[in-house]
Amino acid sequence: MTTSLPQVAWQAALGLVATLGFAIGFNLPRGALSRVGLVGMAGFLVRFGMLTLGHSVAAASFAAAFFMGVVGYYGARTFRYPRVLFTVTGIIPLVPGIPAYQAILEFSHGNLSLGLENLVRASWVIIALAAGLTAARGFTWPERILP
């Protein structure tokens, strides 16, 4: 699969808008908006890059969550914000809303096997996101944000 620069730029812009949209919805402090937006966009691009390279959605989501967990740790140390701001807000755009929605749609149409397939796909991605964040937390333990 080939990817052009405009495609990458378009994905980056969409990732930034999605992260900032949810960040404002979650009442994120104003001073942290741009930094969290950039971390979310970078995580979005990590996942896009891995998908482009042919990896599975779950592996790409794990890598993106791990990346955001590690970057969030250093971001938290540098900018004196709790790490949760960078990690949880950044990964929300990666939550598989579309497979979850498709699962709902298939169940509502009585297509149980397709619904279950989508549900399992969505669950794998959610588990991968949680595992990525937890692995990053273990990788950067102990936290030392304040001196």
Partner 1 sequence: MTLASLSQVPKAADSAPDHRKHDPGLSEALRLVSRIGVLTARAGAAAFRVRECMRRTALAFGAAEAEVVVTPEAICASVADDFGSETLVTRIVPGGVNMNALCRIEMLTREIAAEPHRYSTTRVIRALDAIELAPPLYPPWVTVLSLGAACAAFCGVIHGSPWQMAAAFVGACSGQTLRLYAHARQAPTVAVVTLSAFASCCFSELALLVEGRLAASLGVADLGPDLARLASVLYLIPGVGLVTSWIDIIHFDLSAGLARAAHASLILGCIAAGLLMFLQLNAWLAP
Write out the residues near partner 1 by the rule CB under 8 A: 10-11, 13-15, 17-18, 20-30, 32, 80-82, 84-85, 88-89, 91-93, 95, 97-98, 100-102, 104-105, 107-108, 126-127, 129-131, 133-134, 145-147
Residue 75: CB atoms within 10 A of its CB come to 22
Residue placing its CB nearer to partner 1 in the complex, 3 or 134: 134
* Smallest distance from partner 1 to CB 109, Å: 8
DSSP one-letter code for 117: H
Give the angle 12-52-122 at the CA atoms, nearest 5°: 85
To which residue do tokens 């140390």 refer?
A: 77
* Smallest distance from partner 1 to CB 121, Å: 13
* Smallest distance from partner 1 to CB 136, Å: 12
CA separation for the pair 60, 63 (Å, rounded): 5
Contacts of 92 (CB under 8 A, 6+ apart): 19, 22, 26
Residue placing its CB nearer to partner 1 in the complex, 53 or 127: 127
